[in-house]
């Protein structure tokens, strides 16, 4: 008797990657997929907010410097909506001054990572954040 092929392990969690730079999106997306996450992608803040509302990912990796609705405003919209406020948001930015950290806190982001960042380190941070949210 032939058995159907196994579909493989289920993804551990869903991560939405909101990044307008194609190279960064490819690198971060590949590393996150390799780490076992189901990765969705959006190219700008408005599409990111819409994707969060539609898919309710476990975590969003949000570039701060996006065209149109930037990552700060997109994060504030996600965190300001009771239906999506619990979605974790990790903001990536090239700006690391105290004022930028204050802006991240004001937007409601859960973590703030400076770019460029090691892709493996980003995947590790994502994993820690999701594990902490899950309680272990």
Say if residue 4's pLDDT is above 80.
no
Output the pTM of the full model. Answer: 0.89
* Domain boundaries defined on the chain: 14-119
CATH of domain 14-119: 3.40.50.2300
A 10 A CB-CB count for 20 gives 17
Amino acid 96: pLDDT: 80
For residues 99 and 68, the answer to whether their CB atoms sit within 8 Å is no
Amino acid 11: pLDDT: 54
Range list of H helices, the chain: 22-34, 45-55, 71-80, 98-107, 119-134
């Amino acid at each position: 008797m032939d058995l159907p092929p196994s579909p493989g392990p289920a993804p551990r969690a869903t991560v939405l990657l909101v990044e307008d730079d194609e190279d960064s999106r490819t690198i971060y997306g590949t590393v996150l997929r390799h780490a076992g996450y189901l990765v969705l992608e959006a190219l700008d803040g408005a599409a990111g907010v819409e994707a969060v509302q539609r898919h309710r990912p476990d975590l969003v990796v949000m570039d701060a410097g996006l065209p149109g609705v930037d990552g700060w405003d997109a994060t504030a919209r996600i965190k300001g909506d009771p239906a999506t406020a619990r979605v974790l948001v990790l903001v990536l930015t090239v700006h690391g001054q105290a004022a930028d950290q204050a802006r991240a806190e004001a937007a409601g982001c859960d973590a703030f990572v400076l770019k460029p960042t090691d892709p493996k380190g980003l995947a590790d941070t994502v994993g820690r954040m999701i594990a902490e949210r899950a309680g272990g």
